[in-house]
Amino acid sequence: MSTVATEIQNTFETILSSLVEKERSVIIRRIGLKWEKETLQEIGDTYGITRERVRQIEDVGIKKIGRIMRTSPLMQIQESGEKILQMHGGIMTRDRLISAIIADIGIEGSLNYNIIDVLLQADYNLQRSKPQLGTNTYFHFAEITKKMVEGVHKEALKVLKKKWDILETTALYEAVHVGLLAQFGAIPNIVIDSIMDIFLDIVKGEEKYIGLEKWKILNPATLKDKAIYVLKKHKEPLHFLDIASAITEKFGEPVKISTIHNELIRNGEFILIGRGIYVLKEWGYKDGTVLDVILEIFKKSNTPLSTEEITARVLKVRQVKITTIYMNLQNKKYIERVGRNLYQAV
């Protein structure tokens, strides 16, 4: 343990010794100072009291720590926390804030990070969120209200669901800013960005993109999701060999050629438009052979089409040889020639 870490832990334990036995015991067990962390329920069962009573004892102890530590070296942690929180608009997730404090103060080696959590809770200028399903715990100044946090999250979800695709963070934040201007006034992008880190149903990726976690685009887990990610990033048709190489490069995951090829073939999200070349179905492409494409072109046209017109339209959705298109035009079962160089469906 580094000198700074040792000083923090020793000073913290000295302050704990000033508390009454039950307060000291609850805090030690809650943060896992000497053994594994314990839940409110586990501690309550030991004392024969409710979870809420354990929480009350813990809160009283933390408030006492806040008063005692004002004359101790531990104040540097609260000062660092407030400074960093201010730089991030007044709100940050617990883990990000603690990591930033550790870097700011220069704490090296092992230290129970829950000590820093308790010291931040003891800061009367800060507030800590209550545990809530689907969120990360966060610290904030009083002016960043729960209503604002939930309002920003709700507005971001509305914008993303309407777009139904990932957005650049700047575009999303501007939309949220405009949507909530009448209710909360001007909300800085840095505040919106920090709030996005709180909710687990929203993820960031590639440093500048943001989307819904359930889309698995920015946080792909399966091979299919990673192939979709690669195609969306490149925004153009790719050969399955290039898709495999891109997955390996991005995720450090060697991919067998046969495996990625089978994945692309069996999943309806991908469309084969040429020899080994794939696109995403959501880009407007449809399944089918070159003949199917030609027949679909005829269906949309009210007049016979020339070879040049048919070829140009086929090549917009299929990367095939021109001779392949010509050969399909000779299929008299489905296509008839009605002029010197004009064709239509039978």
Tell me the mean pLDDT in the region 319-335. 88
Coil, helix or strand at residue 125:
coil
- pLDDT score at 1: 52
Instruction: Give 143-213's CATH code, choosing from 1.10.1200.10, 1.10.10.10, 2.130.10.10, 2.60.40.3140.
Output: 1.10.10.10
Nearby residues of 323 by Cβ (< 8 Å), 6 or more positions away = none
Residue 335 forms beta bridges with which residues? 345
- pLDDT score at 235: 85
Instruction: Give 290-345's CATH code, choosing from 1.10.3470, 1.10.287, 1.10.10, 1.10.20.
Output: 1.10.10
Q: What is the DSSP string of 19-86?
A: S-HHHHHHHHHHHTSSS----HHHHHHHHT--HHHHHHHHHHHHHHHHHHGGGSTTHHHHHHHHHHHH
Q: How are strands ordered across the β-sheet holding 335-337?
A: 305-306, 342-345, 335-337
Residue 300 clears pLDDT 90, i.e. is over it: no
Residue 21 clears pLDDT 60, i.e. is over it: yes
Tell me the mean pLDDT in the region 167-194. 94
**How far is the CA of 46 from the CAs of 25, 131, 134, in angstroms?**
11, 22, 29
Note whether 17 and 120 are within 8 A (CB).
Answer: no
Q: What is the mean pLDDT of the chain?
A: 89
Tokens 């209550």, residue located: 130
Tell me the mean pLDDT in the region 177-199. 94
- pLDDT score at 233: 82
pLDDT tens-digit profile of 54-102?
999 999 999 999 998 888 888 999 999 999 999 999 999 999 999 999 8
Class of domain 223-283 (CATH, top level): mainly alpha
DSSP state of 74: T
Q: Where exactly are the structural domains of the chain?
A: 3-131, 143-213, 223-283, 290-345
State the architecture of 3-131 in CATH terms: Orthogonal Bundle (1.10)
pLDDT tens-digit profile of 114-166?
889 999 999 999 999 988 899 999 999 999 999 999 999 999 999 999 988 88
Coil, helix or strand at residue 145:
coil
> What element of type H or E holds 93?
strand 91-93
Amino acid type, 174: E
- pLDDT score at 319: 82
Residues in the chain: 346
The band of 109, judged by pLDDT with boundaries at 50, 70 and 90, is: low
The band of 317, judged by pLDDT with boundaries at 50, 70 and 90, is: confident
Distance CA 237, CA 318 (A): 10
Residue 35 clears pLDDT 80, i.e. is over it: no
pLDDT tens-digit profile of 227-269?
988 898 888 899 999 999 999 988 888 888 889 999 999 888 8
Q: Which two tokens stand for residue 203?
A: 């993820």
Distance CA 192, CA 187 (A): 7
| 223-283 has the same fold as 143-213 | yes
Q: What is the DSSP string of 258-271?
A: HHHHHHHHH-TTEE
- pLDDT score at 229: 87
- pLDDT score at 299: 86
Greatest alpha-carbon span in the chain: 101
